[in-house]
Structure 1
Amino acid sequence: MNDSSKHRVRYGMVGGGEGAFIGQVHRMAAALDGELELVCGSFSRDGDNNRRTGERCSLPAKRVYADWQEMLEAEAALPADERMEMVAVVTPNHLHVEISQTALDTGFHVFCEKPVARDLAEALPLAERVAASGLRFGLAHTYLGYPLVWQAREMVRRGRLGAIRKIHVEYPQGWLGTRLESTGNRQAAWRTDPALSGASGAMGDIGTHAFGLAEFVSGHHVSELCASLSIHAEGRRLDDDGDILFRTAEGASGTLIVSQVATGEDNGLKLRIYGEHGALDWLQKDPNHLRFTPLSGPQQLFRAGIDQPGLETVALDRLRIPGGHPEGYIEAMANLYRDMARAIRSDESAAADGPGAVPGVPSLADGLRGMAFIETVLKSHSGTTKWTRFITPDASQGAQR
């Protein structure tokens, strides 16, 4: 690692203006460890919103740009030790690929919100751009930043559960129980608009989180599935509820349930994995506890904290404070930003799991698999066969079916 490793990585943000919840989450997470610095932004197409957001981020007016195209062009023209190094893309889905491709072509690393695109066909060309650029590309699957998610993954990898038999993951929300999109709510409006969100609603928005978490922790890969999608809010254009049965190439069966019309639920992401020797149970609303139930012996509760016994190194590396002081959502995303910053400063080549990949951060390959998941779900839902084979994302050959 060279002397440049000592500087804070300079980044700019596209999207995330006033009223966009996720933009502020990204800014707080990026600032947490002092390894990144927000130096510019194009936060909103609304000029007043854009200006106010820039002021609240303490940015000089000249580094708050009217649109993302202007930002990329102007930043590329600045001296190397002044311009941004990475772009955080926190816009609705329909802009993810265009902004990411242009940023890579202009010479900037990219950290992008999920899903990576509206559909698999739109996402595939991005793989070529990432490979050609030699730059880093990360995807903001925030839940994969939690320390005890990594603890669970490592316990599975080390064989503590034995052969995995069943995987259950669920993500219920209730905030779209009414047609909130018709009331002027911008977050609901773009998520239920096929032109902005893609061909799936709830399954694309939160189902990709559930799918990614299940595969990440279990180490298994879904090979076929049977999906049913529903629209419960009258007049809504995209699914707001879905149920999936799946099988993995490694021999497990599973269920994946998501809903945005589950009355009374907020963000109830939950993962349960059952093996021949034990089971794991993790709930995002209580992220600092992981329950392990061995086949023989007492149940164990792993607790987050740098001083807690029994935690694997991969979990401890993602913790900051002693047990009893809860770490949560912001810290999970901060782990992804921290790993992005360290990779950008490093002279080391990308990780073995594909071009642009950053150790510890969901990659473009993960993003393509998430898009293939959505496409397979839609194909299953509209088809007549009991089981639909998982579509394999292949950037060199297109989507294989």
Structure 2
Amino acid sequence: MGMVGGGLDAFIGAVHRRAAAFDNEIELVCGVFSQSPEKSKAAGHAFYLPEDRVYASFEEMIQREKELPEDVRMDFISIVTPNHMHFPPAKMALENGFHVICDKPMTLNLEEARELAEIVKKSGLVFGLTHNYTGYPMVKEARDMVRSGKLGAIRKVVVEYPQGWLSKFEEGNDYKQAIWRTDPTKSGAAGCMGDIGTHAENLAEYITGLKISELCADLTTFVPGRQLDDDGNVLLRFDNGAKGVLHASQISNGEENSLKIFVYGELGGLEWHQMEPNTLKFKSQEDQRIIRPKVNALSAAANAHVRVPAGHPEGFFEAFANIYRNFAFAVKAHMNGQQPDPLYDFPGVEDGVRGLAFIDTVITSSQSDEKWTKFIH
């Protein structure tokens, strides 16, 4: 793996490196970790990389790595930069024969996302997107329960992602994460909805297998001086006729990362909370039961992502690691001319396009006097 971004002061870069290293399937061999060559070199030194594999730019890294022998050079790049720097290195890497895994949202805007999807299709290479919540075993179990018909036809989906960390004007306090996430030139057209609303959208579509067809959105910027939305409420219509509610907020004072989803079908319902990830609740008018991750007690899809014995919590890093492990399996399969095992799934370029389309549709709806806006895709 070669990494773009993720220097010593970057939170998410460390998460990606740890997740990638979890299963000994991936080795970090090179990178450009900062726009500052000095900071990039310092990070490379801290990660025990040879000096000649630490680069000053992603362009230099891709070109130099391409010139190395096949058994030495990187096989893929991991992009962990702010959103505005996702598309350029992804495009160049794919066009030079390197697989790509990228943080979300996939690009700065929908136009870039559509172009990247075409590049991925043309290249035939593997592209992964780190919607990490899809990596939890109990999310896999929820998806399998829906697919196997245990809930019957899906009627309603409620998904919420409240946070409180931007309740104040943190971008005025030299807070790096707040500064770029609230800057439209770096984050894109949406703030809260782009950052965490896309996680909620992706989780709803992943578990149910349904697609959002229309929505009615109301975005708000509550904190004075902020350039992008920090709260949003969205009514959803799905392609099977189901209805839904999605809300995402970064001014919900006192909340941490309180992602939750409720799925209701004609035969029963499911409930999952990210902050208690080992618990999946199934409920109906006749029954309520708790489902916990136990190897060989769940579906094959969930079992493939359970890492520890029953009674031990599976958390954020394990879910992230499942995404990286599954991506590594797909890259290996590609190298060997084989088809990847669908049991080890991960979000891809189409999920990325839908994420950017969701952002555009929400913004269009929020600015419109019309009640319903068709999903732009």
User: Shorter-chain TM-score: what band?
Assistant: over 0.9
Q: Residue 301 of structure 1 corresponds to which residue in structure 2?
A: 290
1:320 paired with 2:307, answer: yes
Amino acid at match of 2:279: H
CA distance in 1, matches of 2:225, 2:116: 34
Please report how far the alpha carbon of residue 58 of structure 1 lies from its aligned counterpart in structure 2 after TM superposition: 1.2
Amino acid at match of 1:304: P
How many Å apart are 1:313 and its aligned residue? 0.8
Contact residue 329 and residue 340 of structure 2 kept, 8 A: no
RMSD value over aligned CA atoms? 1.5
Name 2:28's counterpart in structure 1: 38
Q: Give the % identical residues.
A: 51
* SS of alignment partner, residue 354 of structure 2: helix
Deviation of 1:179 (Å): 1.2
Is 1:47 the counterpart of 2:45? The answer is: no
Contact 1:136/1:358, CA 8 A, preserved across alignment: no
Give deviations 1:280-333, integer Å, cap 9, x for gaps: 000000101101113323x111112326x3x11100000111111111111111
Q: Which residue of 2 aligns with 1:133?
A: 123
Q: How does 1:186-201 map to 2 (within 5 A)?
A: 186-201=176-191
* 1:310-358 per-position Cα deviation (integer Å, ceiling 9, x unaligned): x111000001111111111111111111111111111345679xxxx99
Identify the residue that residue 65 of structure 1 maps to in structure 2: 55
Aligned position for 2:104: 114
The 8 Å contact of residues 75 and 83 in structure 1, kept in 2 or not, is answered as yes
Q: Which moved more, 1:143-152 or 1:54-63?
A: 54-63
- 1:337 and 2:324 matched: yes
Indicate yes or no: 2:361 matched with 1:376. Answer: yes
What pairs with 1:133-282 in structure 2 (closer than 5 Å)? 133-282=123-272
Secondary structure, counterpart of 1:36 in structure 2:
coil
1:105 to partner: Cα distance: 1.0
Cα distance in structure 2, aligned partners of 1:323 and 1:230 = 42
Query: Take 1:142 and 1:83, find their aligned partners in 2: how far apart are those partners?
Result: 27
Q: Match for residue 5 of structure 1?
A: none
Say which of 6, 13, 18 aligns to 1:16.
Answer: 6
Q: Say whether the 8 Å CA contact 1:161–1:294 is kept in structure 2.
A: no
CA–CA distance in 2 between the matches of 1:270 and 1:123?
27
Task: State how far apart, in whole Å, the 2-side matches of 1:124 and 1:327 are.
Answer: 35
Q: Distance in 2 between matches of 1:251 and 1:387?
A: 14
2:18 aligned residue? 28
Q: Deviations over 1:131-187 (max 9, x none)?
A: 121211010100011111010000011111111111000000111111111111111
- Report the alpha carbon displacement of residue 359 of structure 1 after superposing the two structures with TM: 5.3
Residues paired across the two proteins, number: 375
TM-score, structure 1 normalization: 0.91
Whole-angstrom CA distance in 2 between matches of 1:185 and 1:350 = 44
Q: Which amino acid is 2:304 matched to?
A: D
In 1: Cα distance, 2:343 partner to 2:9 partner: 30
Letter in 1 for 2:311: G
1:350–1:358 contact (8 Å) kept in structure 2: no
Which AA in structure 2 matches 1:29? A
- Post-superposition shift, 1:47? 3.1
* C-alpha distance in structure 2 between counterparts of 1:276 and 1:387, whole Å: 25
The 3-state SS of whatever aligns with 1:181 is helix
Instruction: Please tell me the residue identity of whatever aligns with 2:184.
Output: P
Structure 1 unaligned spans of 5+: 1-10, 393-401
1:366–1:113 Cα change, 3 Å? same
Distance of 1:351 and 1:129 partners within structure 2: 20
CA contact (8 A) 1:343 1:358 kept: no
Deviation at 1:49, TM superposition (A): 2.5
CA distance in 2, matches of 1:294, 1:60: 58
Q: Structure 1, residues 172-226: CA drift from partner, whole Å, max 9, x if none?
A: 0111111111111111111111111111000000000000000110111111110
Decide whether the 8 Å contact of 2:300 with 2:343 is kept in 1. no
SS in 2 for 1:126: helix
Q: What is the distance in 2 between the residues matched to 1:45 and 1:95?
A: 11
Q: Distance in 1 between matches of 2:313 and 2:39?
A: 33
Q: Distance in 2 between matches of 1:122 and 1:334?
A: 27
Is the 8 Å Cα contact of residues 304 and 344 (structure 2) preserved in structure 1?
no
AA aligned to 2:327 is: M
- C-alpha distance in structure 2 between counterparts of 1:119 and 1:132, whole Å: 20
CA distance in 1, matches of 2:180, 2:113: 19
* 1:34-64 Cα deviation digits (max 9, x unpaired): 1010000101112332222212211111111
Provide the C-alpha distance between the structure 1 equivalents of 2:59 and 2:263, rounded to a whole number of angstroms: 45
